[in-house]
Structure 1
Amino acid sequence: MSSFFAAPAMLWWAAAAAVPFIIHLLSRRKFRRVPWGAMQFLLAALKRTRRRLRMENILLMLLRMGIFLALATAFANPQIGGGGLLGAVAGGSRTVILALDSSFSMQARDDQDRTAWSEATKTARSVLATLDSQKDAAALLTFGSPVHLETRLTRDLALVRRRLDALDPAEGTTDLLGGLHAIEGLLAEPGLEEDFPGEKTILLVTDLQKSAFLDHGSSAEEGGPGGDADPELLQTLRRLQDRKARVIAVGVGGGAVFGNVAVTELANDGRAFISGLTGQIQCRIENFGDRTTSGELRLYLDNEESYVQSRRVVDLPGLSTGSSSERERVVNFDLDVPKVGWHHLMAQWVDDSLAVDNRRRLAFRVRDHLKVLAVSGGGGRRDALPATFYAARALDPLIDDPLRSGGSFVVKEISSIAFPSEKLDGYDLVILANVSEIPAAKAMELEEWVRQGGGLLYFPGPSLEGAGRIGRSGGVVNQLFFRGGQGLLPYPITRLVGSDEFTESPFNLQFESFDHPVAKYFEDPRIQPGLTRIPVYKLAATEPVENAVGVRAIASFFPTGKGAETGERYPALVEKRLGEGACMFFATSADTAWNIYGATPAFVPFMREIAYALTRRRELANLLVGATLVEDFPPSVTKIRLTVGDAPAEERAPVLSADKSRAEVSLRQIPKSGVVVIDAIDGADQLSETERHRVAVINPDTSESNVEPADSHWLADQFGRNLLLVIDDPTELSKPVDEAAKGGLWRLFLYAALAFLLVETLLAWKFGSVHALETSS
């Protein structure tokens, strides 16, 4: 009987049907007959109505018993197959939406070389095999980023099977929420309820990766289920429930924690690649497997057939043997930078159960040098040299040699008078030293140049001493470069502090921390005093802005000698990120007007570290799977040849911008990792080889690399079976899938109970009215 009823325990309520029968029996009380002469006149009338009264009472009793029996049967939820008359009345047809997790964690292999993806497609095929193409319907989608709807709801099950057979796993992350949103949109299509009535069953076939369910803003316990469920995911499941859709998560892959080491980062040390110099490459790996492991890490350059370097990694702890920081390791490579142009690197962990995240690529452009424009607003009081003299020569020692070659930086010095006519295109860094005023249009051009990826270093100087140059209420410098917090400077310059002459209370530099690239060089206590003990006699004090966006204080000035008693500190080196670029403000002069930095050896590495930090670029050619690659070319480019991975090259015509100033080509939602080679065909032959040939790389998002499944108890606690039914064994799937066709019979019994109650009420009222009329007569 338990196979016929979903909740057989509710049948005990059928015992309540005996209550009306017991009441009926108790109401038949026996009376002692007492002879009475007047009763003889009523005897004839009583015999005429006695039979009718008995039938009325029996009918009402049966109706009341029927109410209890129908309710108990409805609560027990009788199950019946989809065939026959009852099956048709109960619902019969099934509407199933198959949603397959196509993220790259589904490609993890177990000890029998099986993948979760192969189990997922097998499960989907078995579900389709149980459906009847005459009355059942199905839809198919994948929710590995990006989400893709393969078929809408259709009774053409052969089409769904063909689409399923053609599916391949992607290399994006799990986008469970995006998949459910896509299903919401599918169920909201006009006319869908008329074509496919009744309850819908949504099958999420997935490896139950816990990160897909977590609210990433909450804390999670190390190595445990931890954290809270994504509140938006909960709301989406409730909305689907309101649409009469039942969501079932089917776990595939066995629930094991596979051995998996992922290459999570491949980058240089932040400096631009300069041809002929040695570059520092950092490769970060992390063990997402359960146990400690060892292996080999290889580095490839421009081809992925033969590696140029390798490192042996020993005893890398896993989830059960080490903390989060212990499971990570940084491996460094020294790379002889190749010729000028675009290149790519690939780091590869040789082998484990999940191959997708074993590789990580880096596209980079090798330059012959970095171009710097040094703009001087005039020298200090102690010499007639330009204000940029020491800074320019710290970067480019051979600046005065017209035949110079080599070196990381090539500096061009100009005056602030010539600056407005100088084009900024082609420069990587601009230095403004002792510049207090430039045309407003040039200031806006400079700001836009920084936002597009340029670097700016600003030094104050004696020119700020003029009236109206600075101040709390404004000043020319603040109006041009701070602009109420929207401009280049991180803070407004409010006043000048100190003296032009040597003083007994100079200022010294102190770094706030050593995690910034500029400060890191001076973390060595043997090198640090060469910079931090240099006396500064005068500085430009700024007023920090609370909660300033993109602003970071790197170092401060503090008074020494007699002034140390005040304990006052002034921002010395402050960075502000704007768009793709950055500006740094150093609070004292670039020449020897207010300090003697320029005459000290430490000023050379200090300037070079600042320049390297400001010319660091986030290479837009390094993207994640699912992202869109956009490349701009001059309008003279008429054709683009794209080669994505091992696929044949294809040619595209670029799209001209609205102002016809550039030609653009894009690749949207790239589903696989690999290398993209871009070759531009320039009709006017104006592009250099570096501009004509470019390389981009697509990497997997290693947030998907931890394949540890969500704990079933945590899922039940967070969602409940009414919102999300979790089935760990796909072989147990047939029962809940069939419930949409079987479970409709309870409605018939509920309707029957309501009908019995209505008839009983009407008959009781009618019989009572007749009795009242007979009594009154």
Structure 2
Amino acid sequence: MFAANFSSPERLWWALVLVIPLAIHLWRRRYQRVVAWSAMRFLRAAQQQVQQRVRLRRLWLLLLRIAMLGLLIFAIADPSTDYSQVEQYLRRSTGTHHVLLLDTSYSMGAVGESQGVSASAFELARQRAMKYVQQLPQGDVISIVTIGSRDRPLIEQPVFDRQEIISELAALELTNRSGEALNAITLAAAVAERCRAAMQDIVMTRYAIFSDFQRDSWHGVTPEIVSRIIGASGKIEFFDCRQPYLHNLAVEDLDVEYPAGPFGNQVALRAQFKNYSQTKSQSVTVTWSIEGRVVQREQVSLAPSELVTVRLDDQNLKVGQHQAKVHIAPVPAAQPDSLLSDNTRWVVFSTAAKFQVLTVTGRYRSEELLATALVPTASTRWPVQITTVNEGELIDQGLAQYDMIALCNVKQISSAEIEQLHAYVTAGGTLFLCPGDRIDIANYNRSFAISSEFRMPLQWQQVVEDSDVQIQLDKTSHAITKLFADNPTNGIEATPISTYIKCVA
């Protein structure tokens, strides 16, 4: 149990003097020659009783002398005691490792009444976890894993100290995000396995889960999955800490819309709100903010269990990245909200980002029509920017900086350029082919269709000059024509065509 260290161990040789009291004791027991005479026979019975008392007294005297000399020698040797082994013995594990899983996701902030006291589900879970720890047998070890706040255990190495565990629980804070219960249980099982490998006397693991068991955090978790994760050496206990939602309003969704397309500088925000109360209608104030500046406030009424969609109409924003926030709050006369953490949502988005286009021209001004279609205005705020190079400069360009590359009437494509373009497309770039009257059709077929990594589903045949050709949307099923089919004023059917390249699939 403990170890004693001596500053002067050589003095322990004095322990040999302990034989002196023993020698004295044995010397006093030596036998004398007995001379019998008649008068003593009447006193023999009384003498035997006296001798028994004397022997017992001498034995105690022997033990006292040995103890006194032993303590004196022990003190002379200057001992120092190491109580670490005593502490380790007193704290020896009873064979049980307790893993506490405490839910810190945002839904645990729901406030309700428990036994007449208003408290959040998180506070209720914390109190129950502390009580659980205080009632554990002395010697059991404990770890803590949280659901929703960390990707690693809060306390991974099992500890004996109850006060340390309680201090960690007291310092734990609620998060503003949902949790992943399945990941937390898997992590807890891994912690338990490492503990069993490090501590040979651990034979059982008990998992204690303190949660409100909301769907956001527990989606997809079934008893069968949990049993498979924790294995046969573990037992699990659930503590339901949910609080009744007396009156709860929530922002269900916040999204960004681009009315003028992804290259426009106008955006619209769309939010959905829900009243989770089953009996009370609620009036709320909706506050819209962009870059931390309030841009609009409005009031919305929500019937019980109603889901309402509210829009913030077009906002003209500068080029770049933006942050928008929507917040709802009950009007002063309404009931207080049970869960405040779901009353706000944020979204980060970009507007009018410059779309970089590289046009490779095979003849002077052959890219002009495409450039006019992509940039129909001289405004510097237009989000598309075009860079033009001739066909001999393509191989020297760093293509990764461009969102789209357009080959405009480029006569031939070399094998090195094909490899360059294929790597660009594979990385997510867009390649736009605008063949003209000077292209080498055999080269294009070989580069993009026949024995090519691009594997285009068509081949070019020949350049045809025919002014009677007309596009008829009702007679084609090509995917690109569907973009125009629902727009009767698109004008594509009236577009004059004089020259085209005939293709076959």
TM-score by length of 1: 0.44
Q: Is residue 355 from structure 1 mapped to residue 340 from structure 2 by the alignment? A: yes
Name the SS for the 2:136 alignment partner: coil
Pick closer, same or farther for the CA change 1:377–1:328 going to 2, 3 Å.
farther
Q: Does 1:309 align with 2:314?
A: no
| Alignment of 1:197 onto 2:168 | no
Question: Partner residue of 1:106?
Answer: 108
Q: How does 1:249-648 map to 2 (within 5 A)?
A: 249-254=238-243, 256=245, 259-269=248-258, 278-287=265-274, 289-291=276-278, 294-303=283-292, 306-315=293-302, 318=305, 327=307, 329=309, 331-338=311-318, 342-350=321-329, 352-364=337-349, 369-378=354-363, 386-397=365-376, 405-424=380-399, 426-435=401-410, 437-449=412-424, 454-462=429-437, 466-470=441-445, 475-478=446-449, 483=453, 491-496=456-461, 500-503=465-468, 506-508=471-473, 525=487, 527=489, 529-531=490-492, 534=495, 538=500
Show the counterpart of 1:567.
Answer: none
The answer to which structure has the higher strand fraction is 2
1:240: which partner in 2? 230
Which has the higher mean CA deviation after the structures are superposed, 419-428 or 181-190?
419-428
Structure 2: how far apart are the matches of 1:179 and 1:366?
38
Tell me if structure 1 keeps the 8 A contact 2:412–2:443: no
Root-mean-square deviation (CA, aligned residues, Å) is 4.2
Residue number in structure 2 paired with 1:643: none
1:99 Cα deviation from its structure 2 partner: 0.4
1:38-68 Cα deviation digits (max 9, x unpaired):
xxxxxxxxxxxxxxxxxxxxxxxxxxxxxxx
Alpha-carbon shift at residue 367 of structure 1 (Å): 6.2
How far the C-alpha of 1:142 sits from its partner, in A, is 0.3
Deviations 1:342-363 (CA, angstroms, capped at 9, x unpaired): 5433232345543334333344
CA distance in 2, matches of 1:430, 1:356: 46
Q: Structure 1 residues 118, 366: CA separation in 2 closer, same or farther (over 3 Å shift)?
A: same
CA distance in 2, matches of 1:177, 1:542: 54
The verdict on how the C-alpha distance between 1:192 and 1:341 changes in structure 2, with shifts beyond 3 A counting, is same
CA positional deviation for 1:188? 1.5
- The CA deviation at 1:207 is 0.9
Q: Is the 8 A contact 2:274 2:302 kept in 1?
A: no
Contact 2:470–2:493 under 8 Å retained in 1: no
- Contact 1:375 / 1:415 at 8 angstroms: preserved in 2? yes
**In structure 2, distance between residues paired with 1:464 and 1:140:** 70
The answer as to whether partners of 2:321 and 2:351 remain within 8 angstroms in 1 is: yes
**Residues 10-42 of structure 1: CA deviation (Å, up to 9, x unaligned):** xxxxxxxxxxxxxxxxxxxxxxxxxxxxxxxxx
State the 1:271 CA deviation: 7.3
TM-score by length of 2: 0.65
Q: Work out whether residues 262 and 349 of structure 1, in 8 Å CA contact, stay in contact via their aligned partners in 2.
A: yes
Cross-structure match for 1:162? 167
- 2:23 aligns to what? none
- What CA deviation, in whole Å up to 9, does each residue of 1:310-340 have, x standing for no partner? 344444773xx5xxxxx362513322314x5
For these two proteins, the number of residue pairs brought into alignment is 400
Residues 513-563 of structure 1 deviation map (CA, whole Å, 9 limit, x = unaligned): 99x9x978x687554x434665778567576xxxxxxxxxxxxxxxxxxxx
Distance 1:413 1:235 in 2: 59
Cα distance, 1:98 vs structure 2: 0.9
**Contact 1:266/1:347 (8 A) holds in 2:** no
Contact 1:108 1:353 in 2 (8 A): yes
Displacement of 1:128 in angstroms is 1.2
Cα distance change, pair 264–97 in 1 and its aligned pair in 2 (3 A):
same
Q: Structure 2 CA distance, aligned partners of 1:271 and 1:425?
A: 27
The alpha carbon displacement at 1:501 in A equals 0.9
Sequence identity percentage:
17
Q: Indicate if the aligned counterparts of 1:297 and 1:348 stay in contact, CA closer than 8 A.
A: yes
Distance 1:344 1:511, change over 3 A: farther
The alpha carbon displacement at 1:259 in A equals 2.5
- Equivalent residue for 2:45? none
SS at match of 1:169: coil
178, 182, 187: which one aligns with 1:173: 178
Aligned counterpart, 2:99? 97
Residue in structure 2 matched with residue 124 of structure 1 by the alignment: 129
Structure 2: distance between partners of 1:138 and 1:186: 11
Partner residue in 2 for 1:690: none
Alignment partner of 2:432: what SS?
A: strand
Alpha-carbon separation, structure 2, partners of 1:526 and 1:428: 30
1:188–1:359 CA distance, 2 compared to 1 (3 A): same
